[in-house]
Amino acid sequence: MPGVIDADLIRLEGITHAYATGASTQAVLHDVSFSIPAGLSCAIVGASGSGKSTLLNLIGLLDEPTSGRVLLAGEDMSRASAEVRAIARNRIIGFVFQSFNLLPRLDALDNVALPLLHRGVPRQQARQAAQAQLERVGLTNRRHHRPADMSGGQRQRVAIARALVGDPALLLADEPTGNLDSQTAQDIINLLLSLNRECGTTLVLVTHDSGLAGRMARCLQVVDGRIRFPGYCNQ
């Protein structure tokens, strides 16, 4: 699937989402519809509390919409079983989070290998694939270091390697530079964009930084749970 740019990888149709708050509900997203072609880089921007992270959770199949449809690679995942959604997350989607989400007791190599082990890939094969991804992000010499022994930028590179080890069609990044200094943040964005260009991996990035958003091919702005379309950033 990576490399295909003539079909929609993501399609949301009439999405609403609400959380229960005691006896009432609080709507977060309102009638959201858009699509993202395979191979595109796209930023989702908005103020804190606007609904952008909720939107990313729906795209990443971490949550279900209250109404509407979420289609991933043409498949309606809106009411899919927990097992089907978990399989899709493991095989189609790679996640990169602001807080890295690395397991502290594992070294970089085993953190990166973990998604493949969850698939049932033999340990030696999974570690070989993890080694290749660590080399890809420039961390071969840190493969046996634990997260506590690495800088924030190195931890994020490990997180990116882990997200890529399963060869996902879609890479979702939620404020991936939020805990990094400005130079390291630029290095991480450069890495993500190079993966998008060279491998055709669809990249969806949530950020509050308009400068980072402007480096993506497309921008979606979330305002009070609704989508605005600033358009294609680089046109």
**Residues 131-157: tens digit of each pLDDT:** 999 998 889 999 999 999 999 999 989
Q: How confident is the model at residue 67 (pLDDT cuts 50, 70, 90)?
A: very high
- Does the pLDDT value for residue 4 go beyond 60? no
Q: What is the domain extent for residue 129?
A: 39-61+82-232
Backbone angle region of 160, left / alpha / beta, with phi > 0 → left and psi within -120 to 50 → alpha? alpha
At 233 the pLDDT is 57
pLDDT at position 182 is 85
CA distance 131 to 113: 8
What's at 124, amino acid-wise?
Q
Tell me, yes or no, whether 14 lies in a domain: no
Tokens matching residue 194 = 């190079």
pLDDT at 93 over 90: yes
Which pLDDT score, from 0 to 100, does residue 25 have?
Answer: 83
**pLDDT cut 90: percent of the chain above it:** 58
CA-CA-CA-CA dihedral for 176, 179, 184, 190, to nearest 10: 10
Q: CA-CA distance, 147 to 225, in Å (whole number)?
A: 35
* CATH number of the domain to which 153 belongs: 3.40.50.300
Give the chain's mean pLDDT.
88
Q: What is the pLDDT of residue 1?
A: 38
Average pLDDT over residues 158-180: 89
Whether residue 166 is contained in a domain is answered as: yes
Q: Check residue 2 and give its pLDDT.
A: 40
- Let me know if residue 17 belongs to a domain: no
In a domain, 15, yes or no: no
At residue 231, the pLDDT reads 63
Query: What is the bridge-based pairing of β-strands 24-37 and 170-174?
Result: unpaired
pLDDT of 111 strictly over 90:
yes
Residue 46's pLDDT band, with cuts at 50, 70 and 90, is confident
The total number of structural domains in the chain stands at 1
Average pLDDT over residues 165-175: 91
pLDDT in tens, 183-203: 888 888 898 999 899 888 999
Q: Is residue 108 part of a domain?
A: yes
In a domain, 216, yes or no: yes
pLDDT value at residue 3: 39
Region at 22 (left for phi over 0; alpha for psi -120 to 50; beta for the rest): left
- pLDDT score, position 234: 52
Task: Please identify which residue in the block is written with the tokens 């080399």.
Answer: 135
What is the DSSP track for 139-193? -GGGTT--GGGS-HHHHHHHHHHHHHTT--SEEEEESTTTTS-HHHHHHHHHHHH
**Is the pLDDT score of 23 beyond 90?**
no
The model's pLDDT over 198-234, given as tens digits with 9 standing for 90+, comes to: 888 999 999 888 888 899 999 999 999 999 876 655 5
Q: Is the pLDDT of residue 59 over 90?
A: yes
Task: Tell me, yes or no, whether 133 lies in a domain.
Answer: yes
Residues 130, 210: contact at Cβ < 8 Å?
no
**Residue predicted with more confidence, 70 or 177:** 70
Q: Is residue 76 part of a domain?
A: no
| b/e code 1-23 from CB counts within 10 Å (16+ = b) | bbeeeeebbbbbbebebbeeeee
